[in-house]
Amino acid sequence: MDAKDINVEHALQNLTRLRISDFGKTIRYIPLETTDEGLVGNNPTVKVLKDHIVIEFSTPKSCLLFSKKDGRFIASIGRVGQGPHEYSENFSWTDEKEEFLYFARRPDQLIKFDMKGVFCGKVEFSSPPGLASFYLLTESEIVGYFSGLNQTNQFALAIFDKDGVMKDTVPLLLPIIQPEFDQVAGIQVTRGISTYGNWARSGAIVFDYKDDTRHIFVTNARRIWKNKENIRFKENYIDTLYTLSDNKLIPSLIFHTGKYHLPVEDITGEKKTNERIFIADVSENDNFVFFQCIKGLLSDDPVLYNGLYHKKTGATKLGKYSDAIEDDVNHFMPFIPLGMSTSGEFVSLLEAGQIMEWLETHPEAKNNDKLTFLKTLNEEMNPVVVLVE
């Protein structure tokens, strides 16, 4: 079957204002229980599973687990450190049955915890290449995506058995690019998503070179996922969404960027370049492909867009990230999509303080029968998870 086109070029020339009704018909709000043990820190990221909500944050580094049913706090999952049951970074992956959370422990292990926070063992990768940037754990395999500052392997994906033994690899689609530190004029580190979107939710490092060129590395970029029985793969700077089949990449969707195409040879380019489109973050459910793209990725003023491709109709809508997505369903705060849950719902996260500030100018919202959680909310409480389907 031929790959289908997502016409980004046309959508960019016909921008629209996205609304929640473009994403779904129902909205669910889940206030996360606020306890001393389960207090969410700064810069939280959210992952929504079938029955659980995972919240990870950087200050202090921690991973908390909540019930998706009612927001009840369940457990704090492990901690960062050098001890035998401690992990290197508080970024997690789950297995296909969603029974465990896995964390990277340098140099060559994934350690796992159950959904009560109990340590349940490890996977030790018995041969090179070391730890991947991102993992997908299926019932029979572990697929690792290799990219980033320490990339030295000549493949993009590696397939391991459940014990960490490498079975096969998928070749690189791009040349390896490493920073030339003796040519670096400046380095910026950011965790905000308003500039580079969900692609950089775990952090972005921007290298500015003395010759006025720039390159951007992100950590733990989500590049592999599963939709139904299909394993999907989207490489940085490649405008094709692939299906991994028999350990080979089959083109499935192509982001048609036309005259805005960013050539591979320009992925380290001049900062003044501002007319190219970079397909940043991609997620998928049965009906939609949600994506974010950046115009002028390497410039000093990049422009971020939210895109929505309808699989059945082939229609693509694109709107500026700065143009808030209106809640035309419940008439609440603007919607900021952070990706999708493993069940296919669109996910967002609202800080309690932001909600309280919005209520100062929209006090009538407390009378909305669909927003009853507002009556007990205060600014000291944990965030509220928003699901749209």
Which residue segments constitute the domains of the chain, with CATH numbers given?
Answer: 4-171+178-388 (2.120.10)
Q: What is the pLDDT of residues 10-21, one digit of tens each?
A: 999 999 999 999
State how far the Cα of 105 lies from the Cα of 109, in Å rounded to an integer: 5
Residue type at 253 in one-letter notation: L
Question: Residue 42's CB: how many other CB atoms inside 10 A?
Answer: 9
pLDDT of 270 > 90? The answer is: no
Work out whether strand 52-58 and strand 45-48 pair parallel, antiparallel, or are unpaired: antiparallel
- Quick one: pLDDT at residue 272? 67
Tokens of 175: 């040349």
Give dist(CA 250, CA 243) in Å, integer.
Answer: 5
pLDDT above 90 (res 241): yes
Q: Is pLDDT at 1 greater than 70 in this prediction?
A: no
Whether 46 shows a pLDDT value over 90: the answer reads yes
Looking at residues 105-129, what average pLDDT do you find?
94
Mean pLDDT over each residue of the chain, to the nearest integer: 94
Closest CA to 92 of 67, 69, 68, 115: 115
pLDDT in tens, 63-103: 999 999 999 999 999 999 999 899 999 999 999 999 999 99
User: Across residues 47-62, what is the average pLDDT?
Assistant: 94
Measured from the Cβ of residue 155, the count of other Cβ atoms closer than 10 Å reads: 17
Q: Amino acid letter at 237?
A: Y
Instruction: Give the mean pLDDT of 32-40.
Output: 97
Assess contact for 265 and 273: CB atoms under 8 A: no
Quick one: tokens of 181?
């530190």
What angle (nearest 5°) sits at the alpha carbon of residue 302, between those of residues 298 and 306?
A: 120
Q: Is the pLDDT of residue 263 over 90?
A: no
Cα 61 versus chain centre, distance: 18
pLDDT of residue 113: 98
- Examine the pLDDT at 163 and tell me if it is beyond 90: yes
Classify residue 37 as exposed, middle or buried by CB count within 10 Å of its CB (0-12, 13-18, 19+): exposed
pLDDT tier at 260 (50, 70, 90 boundaries)? very high
Looking only at the bridges linking them, the beta strands covering 248-256 and 4-7 are parallel
Which residues have CB under 8 Å from 377's CB, separation 6+? 31, 352, 355, 356, 384
Q: 268 pLDDT exceeds 80?
A: no
Under 8 Å between Cβ of 384 and 32: yes
pLDDT in tens, 310-358: 999 999 999 999 999 999 999 999 999 999 999 999 999 999 999 999 9
Query: Cβ distance 342 to 98 under 8 Å?
Result: yes
Q: In Å, how far from its chain's centre is CA 317?
A: 20
Residue 222 has pLDDT above 90, yes or no: yes
CA distance 221 to 232: 14
Cβ atoms 347, 290 nearer than 8 A = no
